[in-house]
Structure 1
Amino acid sequence: MIKSHSTKVAVIMFSILLLSYIINAMDRQLFSILATDVRNSLDLDLPKIGLASTIFTLGMGVAGIPTALLLTRMSRKNVVILGIILFSAATFMTAYAKGFSDLLLYRFLSGLGEAMQLTALLAIGTTYFIRHRAVAASSLNFTFGIGAIIGPIFGAFILNQFHWQMPFIVFGLAGIPMLVLILLFTRAWLTEAKPTEQQIQIEANNTDSAQSILSRKPILLAIATAFAGLSIYGYLGLYPTFLRESLGFHAQDAAKIVSFYGLGALLSLFGGWLGDKYNYNKVLFFFLIISAISGGLVFTPLNHSLWLHALFSFVFGGAISGMVYSNLSAGLIKSVVSNKASQASGLFVASLYIPAAFAGYILGQLKDHFGWSYSGIIQISGCAIISAILIIIATLPVKYRK
């Protein structure tokens, strides 16, 4: 950790930045709860609303690498601010979508802004808190978990009081106070910190730290991230729709169930601690298997029990969001030298979110052919297992590969 300034003050300032990420998470989780209402209002079929549910991730993925390059020309703080402005404005405008095309546009733009904020925050946390990179990366997902709890419940509450457009309007305006806090209370010595010469020299002598994001291990971890993203966003994109349209849960009950996924994501700090203390590859493999089991089960009726669905949503959220997401992001960043942290952050974001953009559409198409339960097992479980296999391959020494 860079110690030229007070660690306590650094943690407080980073916490303010993390607070803004709660708004990001709330915006991301909102649409899936309102998908049925948007679908009925705009007369969309299931694959189309599935695509609209996850197309924002295409914006996130497309923005990942360009944002990493932008960070070499613009301050990280300004990239965070620009990202908040973009995704908040796009969320606000979603309320005024008139058809499928402009709905996709607003969702795509929200993803661009969310990726700019996420990439910059990952770079800030993993560069300043360099000895605790997994915890710094997982703190982002911890705050995502808070937003994932608040977003569905608050969104469903607003929906119950008003109409489907109002939650988008309220959530879009919520970015304004976050901008004020960041402008007033964060400083460049945190947001623009650079690795020390000593750290650069240590990493130059460390064969485990690649000099390029195009090296073997970063690329394998990136591919593993892509399959994990298909699993995560298959769930996030259409699971609330499955609950409402197949099992008959009301919007408020579906929101409660999905909020347990966010509760599981609060395990991220523990997941980051595990990754820093132990071998993050072993942590990844174990919890990807747990993700595969629990992710397949949530797309079965489970006797139509709200609490059983909530339980397995919590397990799935804790495994894939609390443990897997945290250690994939930190692991990919750890796999390269610290002065490539921004590029590794961008690669992680691109790898996770470009494939995830089509997760809802793919699951919607699978459902039309195989039904909900088999489709959930094929996509949610299958992609998690493939990701686990890739993690094993990434850990094999090159000399053992044929």
Structure 2
Amino acid sequence: MNRNKAALGMFVILLLSYVVNAMDRQLFSVLAPDVRKALGLTLPQVGLAATVFTLGMGLAGIPTGYLLSRMSRRSVVILGLVIFSAATYLTAYASGMPELLVYRFISGLGEAMQLTALLAIGTTYFLDHRAVAASSLNFTFGIGAVIGPNLGAAILGATRWQTPFIVFGLLGVVALVLIFLFVKPWFTEVRADDQPAAQAAEEGVAETIWARTPMTLALATVFAGLAIYGYLGLYPTYLREALGFTPKEAGLAVSFYGFGALLSLFGGWLGDRYDYRRLLVLSLVVSAISGGILFAGLGKSLAMHILFSFVFGGAISGMVYANLSAGIIKSVMRAKASYASGLFVASLYIPAAFAGYLLGTLKESFGWSTAGVVQVAGCACIAALLSLAAAAGQRRKMAYA
């Protein structure tokens, strides 16, 4: 029992380091109009800069899954933390589009290394509660998504646009010290074969990440990512430039997406207790409806934008993200958890790198409302259909097992 309490305490420290990751990710979208003005960027360019870090995350996902078989998970977490914190700090000193893209891309590499390792640690040690372990990461992401935009906007209001990047980059040092002092290898390096539950038969799961069910769920993750990062990348810009919101108002509205993400633990619990695929379909439908409404029909009502940002965040981050990440891991043998977590990260973040650019381009051709509905609502609907296909395929597999 004492060992389990110690493990939970160490996981909490790792989750706190992921709050820093989330804060770094959410900061740029609030500062995007200021960065755009200072560096003379177009809307599609600043949209690309807002989401290009996800390309780094995606490209690092599967290689990190293989790296975890050669390096300790604790070392990968630490290395990722150092990389993304340094890149966030250096973003303050970008003098043009090329440097900005490089720093944003590198920050994504580090963030993916940390996320992939944390998913592997949590879902391997807490084997009977894999969805809750995976969703706890998104829960802490929600905390960072609440703190990041509001703190960033407050710092911006008192100083200049570079200062929030410097402050957030230095926060990584604090997390680094805590991990060095308190997180032990006996917790982070446990293997699935060492767990008593691993002796149970694994029926209806794939032996490789390239099988039909994990790949269908990975494709659903692609479209969910385009919806999520279309919103995260340019929704604050839409509020400020189209509706005239102040930076603090835009930061407040988008922070309620983070409050919605705090439902992740509940979403993970539901996914462990019931069929996570049915939960995915229902949550994606709600995501499509609320995401479309955010870009069409709310006008300048800050209260309504706060409400629907919370609904959208609760559905697509609290429920969908939690159960797609855990679902891909559940769909393969436990020994393949590291590879499955890498597949999830790659599927979510490679396409998401272009979500901001895509939404910016759609906006220039069709206007904000149509662009938001097409990308955010449309992609969520496609993801729902793919989740439905994954559920049907899994039932057929179980029937012939």
The question of whether the paired residues in 1 share the 8 Å contact of 2:19 and 2:140 is answered with yes
Question: In the alignment, is residue 93 of structure 1 matched against residue 90 of structure 2?
Answer: yes
Q: Please give the alpha-carbon distance, in whole angstroms, between the structure 2 residues aligned to 1:237 and 1:44.
A: 15
The question of whether the paired residues in 1 share the 8 Å contact of 2:128 and 2:197 is answered with no
Q: 1:277 aligns with which of 250, 273, 279?
A: 273
Q: 2:186 aligns with which of 181, 186, 189?
A: 189
Q: Please give the alpha-carbon distance, in whole angstroms, between the structure 2 residues aligned to 1:201 and 1:260.
A: 42
User: What corresponds to 1:146 in structure 2?
Assistant: 143
Q: RMSD value over aligned CA atoms?
A: 1.3
Q: Please give the alpha-carbon distance, in whole angstroms, between the structure 2 residues aligned to 1:221 and 1:286.
A: 15
Q: 1:320 aligns with which of 309, 316, 319?
A: 316
Q: 1:362 aligns with which of 358, 364, 367?
A: 358
* Residues 287-344 of structure 1: CA deviation (Å, up to 9, x unaligned): 1000000001111251310000000000000000000000000000000111100000
1:268, distance to aligned residue in structure 2 (A): 0.3
The question of whether the paired residues in 2 share the 8 Å contact of 1:247 and 1:301 is answered with no
User: What corresponds to 1:209 in structure 2?
Assistant: 205
- Secondary structure of the corresponding residue to residue 245 of structure 2: coil
Q: Please give the alpha-carbon distance, in whole angstroms, between the structure 1 residues aligned to 2:390 and 2:202.
A: 17
Q: Please give the alpha-carbon distance, in whole angstroms, between the structure 2 residues aligned to 1:86 and 1:303.
A: 40
Q: Please give the alpha-carbon distance, in whole angstroms, between the structure 1 residues aligned to 2:316 and 2:333.
A: 26
Q: Please give the alpha-carbon distance, in whole angstroms, between the structure 1 residues aligned to 2:342 and 2:205.
A: 17
Q: Please give the alpha-carbon distance, in whole angstroms, between the structure 1 residues aligned to 2:246 and 2:320.
A: 30
The question of whether the paired residues in 1 share the 8 Å contact of 2:136 and 2:264 is answered with yes
1:200, distance to aligned residue in structure 2 (A): 4.2
Q: Please give the alpha-carbon distance, in whole angstroms, between the structure 1 residues aligned to 2:311 and 2:95.
A: 38
Q: Please give the alpha-carbon distance, in whole angstroms, between the structure 2 residues aligned to 1:398 and 1:199.
A: 22
1:199, distance to aligned residue in structure 2 (A): 4.1
User: What corresponds to 1:394 in structure 2?
Assistant: 390
Alignment CA distance shift 1:398-1:337 (3 Å) = closer
Q: Please give the alpha-carbon distance, in whole angstroms, between the structure 1 residues aligned to 2:23 and 2:299.
A: 29
Alignment CA distance shift 1:399-1:343 (3 Å) = closer
Q: Please give the alpha-carbon distance, in whole angstroms, between the structure 1 residues aligned to 2:271 and 2:235.
A: 29
When normalised by structure 2's length, the TM-score is 0.97
Q: Please give the alpha-carbon distance, in whole angstroms, between the structure 2 residues aligned to 1:78 and 1:130.
A: 22
Per mean C-alpha deviation after superposition, the further-off stretch among 25-34 and 293-302 is 293-302
Question: In the alignment, is residue 306 of structure 1 matched against residue 302 of structure 2?
Answer: yes
Unaligned ranges ≥5, structure 1 = none
When normalised by structure 1's length, the TM-score is 0.97
Aligned length: 396
User: What corresponds to 1:105 in structure 2?
Assistant: 102
Q: Please give the alpha-carbon distance, in whole angstroms, between the structure 2 residues aligned to 1:18 and 1:206.
A: 29
Q: Please give the alpha-carbon distance, in whole angstroms, between the structure 2 residues aligned to 1:84 and 1:209.
A: 32
Q: Please give the alpha-carbon distance, in whole angstroms, between the structure 1 residues aligned to 2:218 and 2:61.
A: 12
The aligned amino acid for 1:93 is L
Q: How does 1:3-402 map to 2 (within 5 A)?
A: 6-196=3-193, 199-202=197-200, 205-397=201-393
- Secondary structure of the corresponding residue to residue 302 of structure 1: coil
1:201, distance to aligned residue in structure 2 (A): 4.3
Q: Please give the alpha-carbon distance, in whole angstroms, between the structure 2 residues aligned to 1:226 and 1:323.
A: 16
- Secondary structure of the corresponding residue to residue 94 of structure 2: coil
The question of whether the paired residues in 2 share the 8 Å contact of 1:329 and 1:345 is answered with yes
Alignment CA distance shift 1:151-1:398 (3 Å) = closer
Q: Please give the alpha-carbon distance, in whole angstroms, between the structure 2 residues aligned to 1:75 and 1:378.
A: 42
Alignment CA distance shift 1:96-1:12 (3 Å) = same
* Residues 72-130 of structure 1: CA deviation (Å, up to 9, x unaligned): 11000000000000000000000000000000000000000000000000000000000
Q: Hey, which bits of structure 1, 4+ residues long, moved more than 2 A?
A: 196-202, 397-401
The question of whether the paired residues in 1 share the 8 Å contact of 2:213 and 2:394 is answered with no
Q: Please give the alpha-carbon distance, in whole angstroms, between the structure 2 residues aligned to 1:374 and 1:163.
A: 33
1:207, distance to aligned residue in structure 2 (A): 3.1
- Secondary structure of the corresponding residue to residue 331 of structure 1: helix
Q: Please give the alpha-carbon distance, in whole angstroms, between the structure 2 residues aligned to 1:128 and 1:161.
A: 44
Q: Please give the alpha-carbon distance, in whole angstroms, between the structure 2 residues aligned to 1:389 and 1:210.
A: 21
Alignment CA distance shift 1:306-1:201 (3 Å) = same
The question of whether the paired residues in 2 share the 8 Å contact of 1:200 and 1:337 is answered with no
The question of whether the paired residues in 2 share the 8 Å contact of 1:227 and 1:386 is answered with yes
The aligned amino acid for 1:170 is V
- Secondary structure of the corresponding residue to residue 160 of structure 2: coil
